[in-house]
C-alpha cells in the first residue's frame, strides 16, 4: 500500500486514539503529581436548622472555601507534590512495617494491597478456567451433529451478550437473602446459607460469574480456529495410533496456541479492570478491586469533595499493573512474529 493511502486510511483512528486515549492519559499522569485544592478560610457562621416545631440556631467556626468576587467561583491553588498521592495510595510505610513485624495479614488491611490481592487472584484464577471451558465448549460443538450446532452455538453465546452490570446484578438477586437459588440450596441442604456474609463465598460467585460471562468469547474464537485444523495431520495422527487426548495435546492445542495467547491477552486486560462485580454484588465490605478503588476516590461525598489526585495515582498504578501482566504473553507473540513460524 502506498504510504499516502495508508496514512489516510488510519488517520481517523489515530486521531481518535490521540484524542480519547493519549490526551486523557497524559492529563491523568500530570494530575497524579499535582494537588488542586480550594483556598480555605475560617469564618464564624450562624446556621439555623428546623426541628419539628422550632428552630435551633448554632454559631460555630466553619472552614469554607474563599469565593473570588469577580468570577464567582471558588479560588483554588495547584501544587506539584511529587509522589505524595502515590504514597497515599500505596502506603508503603505501613506495608514495610507490616513486613518488618511479620504480620503479613496487616498488608491486606491497606486498601490498595487488599484490592491488588483480589484483582491479581481474580485475573489469574479465571484465566485458565476461561480458556479451558471455552475450549471444551468449542470441542463439544465441533463434535455435535450438524443439525444441533446452530442452536447450541446460540445458547452458549447468550451469557456474552448480557450487559456485565445486569449479569452481576442478576447473580446478586439470585443469591442474596432468600433469593431463589439460596432458598433452594437451603431446602436441599437443610442449612442456613448466606452467600454475601463472608469474603470467600462472594469471591467464589465472582469467579463463577466471570467465567460464565467470558467463556463464550473464548469459545467463538476457538471454534473458528478448530475449522482450520489441518485434517491431513489429524488423520496421520489417527493412523499413528494417537488417542483422542494425544491428538488434542499434540495437534489441536499447538495449532490453537496463537489464539490461546490472544484470548489470554484480552482476558488479562479485561480482568485486571474488574469493576462490575464489585458494584453488582455490593461487595465493598469484603472484596474490592483496583478499578473500584479509583472509582471510590473519584466519587464525591455529600460535601462535594473528591480525591482526584489519588484517583489519578491509582489509575496510573492500574495501568502499570496491566503493562506488567501483558509483558509475558506479548513477548511470546513478538518472538513468534519475528521468528516467522506462521
Residues that bind another protein (CB under 8 A): 35, 37-40, 45-57, 61-65, 67, 72-74, 77, 85, 88, 108-109, 111, 176-178, 194-199, 281-286, 296, 299-305, 307, 309-310
The H-assigned helical ranges of 42-103 are 84-90, 92-100
Work out how close the CB of 98 gets to another protein at its nearest, in angstroms, rounded to a whole number. 12
DSSP-derived letter for residue 66 is P
The pair phi, psi for residue 14, each rounded to 5°, is -65, -45
The CA-based angle 168-270-285, given to 5 degrees, is 45
Work out how close the CB of 126 gets to another protein at its nearest, in angstroms, rounded to a whole number. 23
Is the CB of residue 104 less than 8 Å from the CB of residue 95?
no
Q: Which is closer to another protein, CB of 7 or CB of 173?
A: 173
Work out how close the CB of 252 gets to another protein at its nearest, in angstroms, rounded to a whole number. 44
Q: Which is closer to another protein, CB of 49 or CB of 143?
A: 49
Tell me which residue of 320, 322, 324 sits closest to 90, measured CA to CA: 320
Q: Which is closer to another protein, CB of 178 or CB of 240?
A: 178
What proportions of the chain, in percent to the nearest 5, are helix, strand and coil? 70, 10, 20
Q: Which is closer to another protein, CB of 50 or CB of 339?
A: 50
Q: Which is closer to another protein, CB of 135 or CB of 287?
A: 287
Q: Would you say the C-alpha torsion 295, 213, 207, 121 has a positive or negative sign? A: negative
Q: Which is closer to another protein, CB of 140 or CB of 204?
A: 204
- How many residues would you count in the chain? 342
Residue 191 to residue 183: CA distance in whole angstroms: 10
Collapse the DSSP code of 32 into the 3-class scheme (helix H, G, I; strand E, B; otherwise coil) and give the result.
coil
Work out how close the CB of 215 gets to another protein at its nearest, in angstroms, rounded to a whole number. 27
Work out how close the CB of 113 gets to another protein at its nearest, in angstroms, rounded to a whole number. 13
Q: Which is closer to another protein, CB of 190 or CB of 304?
A: 304
Residues 6+ apart with CB under 8 A from 154: none
Work out how close the CB of 11 gets to another protein at its nearest, in angstroms, rounded to a whole number. 34
Work out how close the CB of 277 gets to another protein at its nearest, in angstroms, rounded to a whole number. 13
Residue 32 to residue 24: CA distance in whole angstroms: 12
Amino acid at each position: 500500500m502506498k504510504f499516502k493511502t495508508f496514512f489516510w486510511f488510519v488517520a481517523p483512528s489515530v486521531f481518535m486514539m490521540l484524542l480519547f486515549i493519549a490526551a486523557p492519559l497524559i492529563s491523568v499522569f500530570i494530575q497524579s503529581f499535582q494537588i488542586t485544592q480550594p483556598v480555605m478560610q475560617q469564618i464564624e457562621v450562624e446556621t439555623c436548622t428546623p426541628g419539628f416545631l422550632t428552630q435551633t440556631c448554632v454559631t460555630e467556626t466553619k472552614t469554607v472555601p474563599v469565593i473570588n468576587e469577580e468570577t464567582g467561583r471558588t479560588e483554588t491553588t495547584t501544587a506539584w507534590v511529587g509522589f505524595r498521592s502515590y504514597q497515599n495510595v500505596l502506603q508503603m510505610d505501613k506495608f514495610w512495617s507490616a513486613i518488618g513485624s511479620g504480620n503479613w495479614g496487616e498488608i491486606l488491611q491497606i486498601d490498595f494491597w487488599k484490592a491488588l490481592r483480589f484483582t491479581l487472584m481474580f485475573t489469574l484464577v479465571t484465566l485458565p478456567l476461561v480458556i479451558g471451558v471455552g475450549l471444551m465448549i468449542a470441542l463439544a460443538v465441533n463434535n455435535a451433529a450438524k443439525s444441533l450446532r446452530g442452536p447450541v452455538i446460540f445458547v452458549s453465546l447468550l451469557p456474552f451478550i448480557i450487559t456485565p452490570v445486569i449479569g452481576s446484578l442478576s447473580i446478586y438477586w439470585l443469591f442474596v437473602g432468600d433469593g431463589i437459588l439460596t432458598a433452594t440450596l437451603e431446602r436441599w441442604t437443610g442449612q442456613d446459607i448466606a452467600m454475601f456474609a463472608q469474603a470467600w463465598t462472594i469471591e467464589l460467585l465472582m469467579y463463577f460469574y466471570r467465567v460464565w460471562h467470558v467463556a463464550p468469547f473464548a469459545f467463538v474464537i476457538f471454534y473458528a480456529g478448530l475449522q482450520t485444523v489441518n485434517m491431513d495431520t489429524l488423520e496421520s495422527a489417527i493412523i499413528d495410533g494417537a488417542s483422542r487426548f494425544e491428538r488434542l495435546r499434540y495437534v489441536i492445542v499447538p495449532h490453537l496456541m496463537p489464539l490461546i495467547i490472544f484470548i489470554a491477552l484480552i482476558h488479562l486486560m479485561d480482568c485486571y479492570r474488574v469493576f462490575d462485580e464489585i458494584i453488582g454484588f455490593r461487595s465493598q465490605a469484603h472484596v474490592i478491586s483496583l478499578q473500584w478503588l479509583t472509582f471510590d476516590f473519584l466519587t464525591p461525598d455529600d460535601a462535594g469533595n473528591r480525591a482526584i489526585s489519588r484517583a489519578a495515582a491509582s489509575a496510573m498504578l492500574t495501568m502499570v499493573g496491566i503493562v506488567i501482566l501483558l509483558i509475558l504473553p506479548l513477548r511470546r507473540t513478538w518472538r513468534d512474529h519475528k521468528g516467522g513460524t506462521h
